[in-house]
Chains A and B, each alone.
Chain A
């Protein structure tokens, strides 16, 4: 069964360091999402791609976060510099459809701890 791949699963870093997460969506899925989930809360959308274009990044803290999907396939989310409040689970998801009822398929997530 096709899955969304994410790495690393766990990352521990010190504040002010740079950190990067990688996501490979299900083949053929045009839409890719990065969500941040703080413990005890629901996932918060950070950025949404349609192929290689950003559809929505209104909640992405652009002073320290960046995301790219250069060839419209896999994607990287970067944080520089990391802050204590960035400790969270970073979830990548993909969807086949661009409009309407496209179910999102999630990867296992990358859990970030900033010390």
Chain B
């Protein structure tokens, strides 16, 4: 089976840095995704990690440690539009993608 844990809610200030953690347990592992979802909208792709280490893409970075079953999403220079839910998702066999419950991030001025 698969289990994904991430904090339910986080708050941060505009211009700051925030780190959203995700821990997972899975019987098979083909990679970890982070998706962003604004209220009432569909999820959109942010990042993909399959090897250990840090992947950087603009203001967003994602880290993976397969031995620890741990990932984080790092958001820098926060903007108001970054207020959204951030979904951690793990892939198993047959490209099956299982999502965590998501972390609701509120960015304040």
Contacts and interface: CB of A to CB of B under 8 A. Distances in A.
Interface stretch (A65-73, A75-83, A99-107): A99-107
A11 interface: no
Contacts of B43: 43, 91, 104, 106
Given A48-B94, A50-B94, A100-B30, A42 B42 contact: no
A95 B31 CA distance: 15
B96 A45 contact: yes
Given A42-B87, A103-B45, A106-B42, A31 B102 contact: no
Contact of A43 (B87, B91, B95): B87
Interface residues of A, number: 28
Contact of A101 (B40, B48, B102): B48
B78 to A, nearest CB: 22
Contact of A41 (B91, B93, B94, B101): B101
A101 B97 contact: no
Interface residues of B, number: 25
Contacts, number: 66
11 contacts: A42-B89, A42-B100, A44-B99, A50-B94, A97-B95, A98-B95, A99-B95, A106-B42, A106-B44, A109-B41, A109-B42
Interface of A: 31, 33, 35, 41-45, 48, 50, 55-56, 91, 95, 97-109, 111
A33 B95 CA distance: 10
Of A42, A55, A99, most B-chain CB atoms within 10 Å: A42
Contacts of B30: 99-101
B101 A99 contact: no
B50 interface: yes
Given A99-B30, A101-B50, A106-B43, A45 B94 contact: no
A41 B87 CA distance: 10
A56 B96 contact: yes
B98 interface: yes
A21 to B, nearest CB: 14
